[in-house]
Amino acid sequence: MKNGWETIIGLEIHAQLSTESKIFCGCSTRFGDEPNSNTCPVCLGLPGALPVLNRRAVELGARAALALGLHINERSVFARKNYFYPDLPKGYQISQYDQPFSERGELEIMTAERDEAGHARVWKPKVVQITRLHLEEDAGKNVHEGLPDVDRYSYVDLNRAGTPLAEIVTEPDFRSSWEAYDYVNHVRRALQWVGASEADMEKGNLRCEANVSVRKIGDTNFGTKVELKNLNSVRFMQHAIEYEIERQINALESGGRVVQETRLWDERAGETRIMRSKEEAHDYRYFPEPDLPPLVVTRDFIEGVRATMPELPEARRRRFMDQYALSYSDASQLTSERSLADYYERAAEAARNARAAANWIRTDLLRELEASGTPVEKCPIPPEEIGALIRLIEEGKISGKQGKDVLSEMFRTGKPAAKIVEEQGMVQVSDAGAIDPIIDEIISANPKQVEQFRAGKESLFGFFVGQVMKASQGKANPKVVNERLKEKLKV
Amino acid sequence: MDFSEYSIETLRSRLSNGEARARFVVESSLDSAEKLNETLNAFLQIDRAGALARADEIDSSKNLRNAPLAGVPVAIKDNICVRGLQASCGSRILGPYHPPYSATAIERLQKAGAVIIGKTNCDEFAMGSSNENSAFGAVKNPWDTARVPGGSSGGSAAAVAAGIVPAALGSETGGSVRQPASLCGIVGFKPTYGRISRYGLVAFASSLDQIGIFGRKVSDIASVLGIVAGRDTHDATTADVPVPDYVGELAGDIKGARIGFPRELFGEGLDDEVRAAVLKTIEAYRELGAEIVEVELPHAKYCIAVYYIIATAEASSNLARYDGVRYGFRAEEAKDLKHMYRATRDEGFGAEVKRRIMLGTYVLSSGYYDAYYRKAQQVRTLIKHDFLRAFETCDAVLTPTTPTTAFLIGEKTDDPLAMYLNDIYTCTANLAGIPGINVPCALSSEGLPIGFQLLGAHWSEPTLFRLADAYERAHPFEARPRVHVASASE
């Protein structure tokens, strides 16, 4: 960023809560069904229909709030947000306003500035103040493409109307696009982790908006903020914020000013464009929703939800570092998803070597999963078998190199490690009587190298080890090969 | 045989002992409706085919025949959804709208065997006190067809008053059942908020709206309420309060009952004849053994102001859905979305509805919310507390229902404020969420009915009915309007 300027960013995230049915009626929340098939008088906004709150949405909202360190209000009030739009069947959205479901959250995230290539420099903790998390319903979708007469008509699909959302609003606490980026990723993972939301930006069940302003370092007043929309991935959001910071600073440095407005990010063009000005902003005329009594949740309910919460990712990362002596980056990677962390712990226990389990999972197993596009939950190798494989290596039954082949075979066939080792006769040869003849053969086949080695070129030792291992088809125990080679090359 | 004087109870006993068949009762009700509608304009839709088919079904099924309201013809205000029938709400904007579902109250009525003969005319979206705001023409008062029947449930009131049906459903937001009942000389009842499900009642002002019941007798109201009342999982504002046997609790004397008399409500603005008639009912209660206690309702005088802020605010939001996008009327040849919205709502809504949407939009606007809406809610709480305090010393408060008898059609249409004052005695009950009932008590010198109302504490319907029924038995209101089934068949 340009010298002398400071960036102020606040974020709003809309996360779809993973309920089976909508927040105020019994219609399915399934994605991709025939347009307007998951609708009823309530979510169509038919005259006389009334909303009834889905308890499951409240439970998931509570999980989300607890995962983000928010305080849940025992009494909150739904409010109507009034505006006209064809995808909004009632002419108002049922949301929450001055008495939200939860507020005052303090969330510690890890964040890092990035180098030119986008690689993190130093990870450091940052505390983000979350203003509120409230419950609301989603709108439907206007369709302008792919249907007859789209030049003259637009279409409305209300399958999504009434889908439960948690809106999560932060204070203007971020000072760079990367902080915002790390925060959104943290929230995504936390919501997935506790089962509150799939939080998949590509599917549209996590959406975010950023309020961006800049000011001279040392200024105490905020600059004029611009709201950014159409941020369809965390990466796009980071790009958009970066672009917007630059645009605002350029405007101010060239004697212009920043206008309060809403701008849309165009990823292809790599720029933000004005959507509406402050003058065109809606007066939403919020007032308490008279069709719904205040939402009252008891302490018992909140504690009940808390009791069923899994260990949260940050806590688990710290425990992995303490309990398994893992590095920060190993522990972070293994706690990036709850299913992966669960997998790791089971494998580590079976292996009786937590660090080895971490290494095998992080390098070999994750490579297989990524290459085949398999999620951890569908991994064909049970975690206990990763443990079994590690034990085979540690007991000297097979070499580490053989282990890699075995793992690939396990992934392909789902067979247990021991069975593959047995089937392929992959037993490690540690008997000097069996290894010596191979060494003798290599020595006599490479007289020149032997001469050089004996003349002092010790770097050639690795060459001999490699040759012997190769000749034994990887079955020779490297430790024994080392000892015998030293012995035999000594003259 | 003329059923127009029968109470539901009598009608039910004639039907169940085989003296009458549902088809015959329903058919004569339909005949009267069709015939009198030319004069009264009380019905917007008469469902002859559907009603007769249902009557035949009842006649041919022993199970159905024993249902509590089997064969009883009823009329339904056109802002309550009945699957298969229209729901215009007296508005052009709903066009030919036919709801795909029935209101909970309707499902309960139908399950109990009641036969819906048609949908009744009303002020557009229940906004009005004279029925002149219907897009389909004013309803005429059966006592004098030059006069209004009151509103907004004027069609239902006229249908009951004229003897077409023994009972009808209306809806109340500020007095839309009790006021027309008073002007038409019948019993009209508004329950405690949350007593009858609002699911399927087209919303005007959600925190005030309740379905109400018209009948000729208090016992008819009790019979219908017992069927439609109770918790509904489709309406989160219904209460889980047991539904008592309202009919069973009617009889019995009222000695020792305490009637609250709010002197300040009998002052300025009240027609002398109405005042005299209502004061006489207080004497009547004293004679029946009730004790009269003076009560104070110091904030009641603010009720019109409070009511027209809260009701219009909620209405401005509730009526936003009529935008031409999904159902009902859509203005032709709109150039773009905004134009379509504007033209649809401009052509679709009547003047009074537009006035209230604008008022409501204004009071919720940024910068005005605290001064109007929030303050109105605070005063609403004070009004409610007035009543709660009053009910510590009395079982029911007795007041006039309306300041005057039925006025002439066109008399107040140019003066909305004068029109709004019609709700001055009724809208307090909606603001406080308490039940109220109008009981006819006299005829004016012009031969127009006068009613009084009893207001009770939340969930005190049994007490209210017992008090109203005791008066009714001691002072039966036997006069009949000029336009009536009985006189028409003569």
Render B202-270 in DSSP notation, one character per residue: PPSSTTT-EEEEEESSHHHHHHHHHHHBS--TT-TTS-------TTTTS-S--TT-EEEE-GGGGSTTS
Spot the catalytic one: B102, B152, B153, B223.
B152
Chain A residues touching B93 at Cβ < 8 A: none
Length of chain B: 490
Banded pLDDT at B310 (limits 50, 70, 90): very high
Chain A residues touching B233 at Cβ < 8 A: 52
* Residue B490 pLDDT greater than 50, yes or no: no
Q: Please spell the DSSP secondary structure of A43-105, one letter per residue.
A: TTT-TT------HHHHHHHHHHHHHTTPEEPSEE-EEEEE---TT-TTSEEEEE-SS-SEEEE
Q: Which residue of B has its CA nearest to A88?
A: B321
Contact B327 A290 (CB under 8 A): no
Chain B residues touching A52 at Cβ < 8 A: 233-236
Alpha carbon of B163: minimum distance to chain A alpha carbons (Å): 29
Q: Is B431 on the interface with A (CB under 8 A)?
A: no
Chain B residues touching A283 at Cβ < 8 A: 365-366
Alpha carbon of A339: minimum distance to chain B alpha carbons (Å): 38
User: Which of A287, A295, A296 to mutate to test binding with chain B, by most B CBs within 10 Å of its CB?
Assistant: A287
Q: What is the pLDDT, as a whole number, of residue A2?
A: 67
Q: What is the pLDDT, as a whole number, of residue A3?
A: 80
Contact B317 A80 (CB under 8 A): yes
Contact B321 A84 (CB under 8 A): no
Q: Label the pairing between strands B115-120 and B187-190.
A: unpaired
At B50-91, the pLDDT tens digits run 999 999 999 999 889 999 999 999 999 999 999 999 999 999
For residue A452, give the DSSP letter: H
Q: How far apart are CA A247 and CA A254, in angstroms?
A: 11
User: Of the CATH numbers 3.40.50.2300, 3.40.50.1110, 3.90.1300.10, 3.40.50.1820, which one belongs to the domain with range B8-258+474-489?
Assistant: 3.90.1300.10
* Residue B453 pLDDT greater than 60, yes or no: yes
SS3 B103: coil
Q: How far apart are CA A8 and CA A265, in angstroms?
A: 18
CA A53 to chain CA centroid, nearest Å: 30
Banded pLDDT at B131 (limits 50, 70, 90): very high
Q: How far apart are CA A385 and CA A355, in angstroms?
A: 16
Residues 209-248 of B with CB under 8 A from A: 233-237
Q: Give the per-residue SS3 of A199-236.
A: CCCCCCCEEEEEEEEEEECCCCCCCCCEEEEEECCHHH
Single-letter amino acid, residue A234: V
Alpha carbon of A375: minimum distance to chain B alpha carbons (Å): 41
Alpha carbon of A269: minimum distance to chain B alpha carbons (Å): 28
Contact B320 A49 (CB under 8 A): no
Q: How far apart are CA B278 and CA B285, in angstroms?
A: 11
The answer to whether B8 and B214 are in contact (CB under 8 A) is: no
CB neighbour list of residue B394: distance below 8 Å, 6 or more residues apart: B258, B259, B260, B293, B295
Spot the catalytic one: B88, B156, B171, B176.
B176
CA dist list (Å): A174 to A43, A109, A221, A292, A312: 37, 11, 15, 36, 23
Q: What is the pLDDT, as a whole number, of residue A117?
A: 85
* Residue B2 pLDDT greater than 80, yes or no: no
SS3 B32: helix
Contact B235 A82 (CB under 8 A): no
Contact A285 B198 (CB under 8 A): no
Q: Which two tokens stand for residue A217?
A: 């370092």
Q: Is B90 on the interface with A (CB under 8 A)?
A: no
At A450-463, the pLDDT tens digits run 888 888 888 888 89
Chain B residues touching A291 at Cβ < 8 A: 203, 206, 236-237
Mean pLDDT of chain B: 96
With 0-12 CB in 10 A as exposed, 13-18 as middle and 19+ as buried, what is A371?
Answer: exposed
Residues 440-479 of B with CB under 8 A from A: none
**Quick one: average pLDDT of A63-84?**
97
Q: What is the pLDDT, as a whole number, of residue B334?
A: 84
Considering CB atoms only, which of B201, B233, B341 is closest to A84?
B341
pTM for the full predicted model? 0.90
Q: Is B381 on the interface with A (CB under 8 A)?
A: no
Q: What is the pLDDT, as a whole number, of residue A478?
A: 82
At B146-192, the pLDDT tens digits run 999 999 999 999 999 999 999 999 999 999 999 999 999 999 999 99
For residue B161, give the DSSP letter: H
Share of chain A above pLDDT 70, in %: 99
Share of chain B above pLDDT 90, in %: 91
Q: What is the pLDDT, as a whole number, of residue B1?
A: 60
Q: What is the pLDDT, as a whole number, of residue A258?
A: 94
Does 3.40.50.11890 match the CATH number of domain A432-488? no
Q: What is the pLDDT, as a whole number, of residue B489?
A: 55
Considering CB atoms only, which of B237, B365, B373 is closest to A291?
B237
At B160-169, the pLDDT tens digits run 999 999 999 9
Q: How far apart are CA A293 and CA A303, in angstroms?
A: 22
Q: Is B314 on the interface with A (CB under 8 A)?
A: yes
Count of CB atoms within 10 A of residue B16's CB? 13
The answer to whether A162 and A24 are in contact (CB under 8 A) is: yes
Could you tell me how many CB contacts below 8 A there are between chain A and chain B? 100
**DSSP alpha helix (H) spans, B336-433:** 337-348, 351-364, 375-390, 416-420, 427-432
Q: Is B326 on the interface with A (CB under 8 A)?
A: yes
Considering CB atoms only, which of B81, B100, B320 is closest to A84?
B320
Chain B residues touching A286 at Cβ < 8 A: 364
* Residue A127 pLDDT greater than 90, yes or no: yes
Say whether B152 is catalytic.
yes
The answer to whether B211 and B80 are in contact (CB under 8 A) is: yes
Which residue's structure tokens are 């004397």? B253
Banded pLDDT at A259 (limits 50, 70, 90): very high
CB neighbour list of residue B378: distance below 8 Å, 6 or more residues apart: none
The answer to whether B199 and B107 are in contact (CB under 8 A) is: no
At A377-400, the pLDDT tens digits run 999 999 999 999 999 988 878 888
Report the DSSP beta bridge partners of residue B440. B451
SS3 B45: strand
Domain boundaries along the sequence of chain B: 8-258+474-489
Considering CB atoms only, which of A46, A52, A82 is closest to B236?
A52
Alpha carbon of A30: minimum distance to chain B alpha carbons (Å): 22
Whether the bond between A399 and the residue before it is cis, its omega within 30 degrees of 0, is no
Q: How far apart are CA A234 and CA A232, in angstroms?
A: 7
Instruction: Tell me which residue of B417, B401, B5 sits closest to B188, measured CA to CA.
Output: B401
Q: Label the pairing between strands B396-400 and B258-261.
A: parallel
* Residue A280 pLDDT greater than 80, yes or no: no
Q: How far apart are CA B219 and CA B9, in angstroms?
A: 8
Contact B236 A82 (CB under 8 A): no
Considering CB atoms only, which of A41, A52, A80 is closest to B100?
A41
Count of CB atoms within 10 A of residue B220's CB? 26
Instruction: Tell me which residue of A196, A167, A161 sits closest to A25, measured CA to CA.
Output: A161
At A90-100, the pLDDT tens digits run 999 999 999 99
Instruction: Tell me which residue of A484, A378, A474 sits closest to A437, measured CA to CA.
Output: A484
Alpha carbon of A282: minimum distance to chain B alpha carbons (Å): 10
Instruction: Name the region of A365 (left: φ>0; alpha: ψ -120 to 50; beta: rest).
Output: alpha
CA dist list (Å): A74 to A71, A101, A300, A430, B407: 9, 8, 10, 68, 51
Q: Which two tokens stand for residue A417?
A: 């490690």
Q: How far apart are CA B172 and CA B432, in angstroms?
A: 13
Alpha carbon of B231: minimum distance to chain A alpha carbons (Å): 13
Chain B residues touching A23 at Cβ < 8 A: none
Report the DSSP beta bridge partners of residue A129. A106
Considering CB atoms only, which of A53, A86, A286 is closest to B325?
A86
CB neighbour list of residue A219: distance below 8 Å, 6 or more residues apart: A6
Q: How far apart are CA B171 and CA B105, in angstroms?
A: 12
With 0-12 CB in 10 A as exposed, 13-18 as middle and 19+ as buried, what is B255?
Answer: exposed
Contact A285 B361 (CB under 8 A): yes
Instruction: Tell me which residue of B47, B210, B57 sits closest to B116, measured CA to CA.
Output: B47
The answer to whether A387 and A343 are in contact (CB under 8 A) is: no
Chain A residues touching B317 at Cβ < 8 A: 80, 82, 91-92, 285, 287
Report the DSSP beta bridge partners of residue A48. none
Domain boundaries along the sequence of chain A: 5-300, 323-332+349-423, 432-488
Q: How far apart are CA B4 and CA B489, in angstroms?
A: 11
Q: How far apart are CA B307 and CA B208, in angstroms?
A: 9
At A300-317, the pLDDT tens digits run 999 999 999 999 988 999
* Residue A491 pLDDT greater than 70, yes or no: no
User: Which of A40, A50, A77 to mutate to test binding with chain B, by most B CBs within 10 Å of its CB?
Assistant: A50
CB neighbour list of residue B85: distance below 8 Å, 6 or more residues apart: B45, B47, B50, B76, B98, B116, B118, B119
The answer to whether B168 and B159 are in contact (CB under 8 A) is: yes
Considering CB atoms only, which of B203, B205, B365 is closest to A48?
B203
At A154-182, the pLDDT tens digits run 899 999 999 999 999 999 999 999 999 99
Length of chain A: 491
Contact B364 A285 (CB under 8 A): yes
H helices, E strands: number in chain A: 16, 16
Contact A50 B207 (CB under 8 A): no
Long-range residue pairs from B64-69, CB within 8 A, at least 24 positions apart, any chain:
B64/B113, B65/B15, B65/B16, B65/B22, B65/B113, B66/B16, B67/B111, B67/B112, B67/B113, B68/B12, B68/B112, B68/B113, B68/B223, B68/B226, B68/B227, B69/B8, B69/B12, B69/B109, B69/B112, B69/B113, B69/B114, B69/B223, B69/B224, B69/B227
Say whether B176 is catalytic.
yes
Q: Residues of chain A whose C-beta is under 8 A from some C-beta in B?
A: 41, 44-53, 80, 82, 84, 86, 89-92, 156, 283, 285-287, 290-293
With 0-12 CB in 10 A as exposed, 13-18 as middle and 19+ as buried, what is B283?
Answer: exposed
At B8-36, the pLDDT tens digits run 999 999 998 888 999 999 999 999 999 99
Contact B321 A50 (CB under 8 A): no
Alpha carbon of A286: minimum distance to chain B alpha carbons (Å): 7
Q: Is B89 on the interface with A (CB under 8 A)?
A: yes
At B39-51, the pLDDT tens digits run 999 999 999 999 9
The answer to whether B214 and B158 are in contact (CB under 8 A) is: no
At B194-213, the pLDDT tens digits run 999 999 999 999 999 999 99
Q: How far apart are CA A255 and CA B69, in angstroms?
A: 80
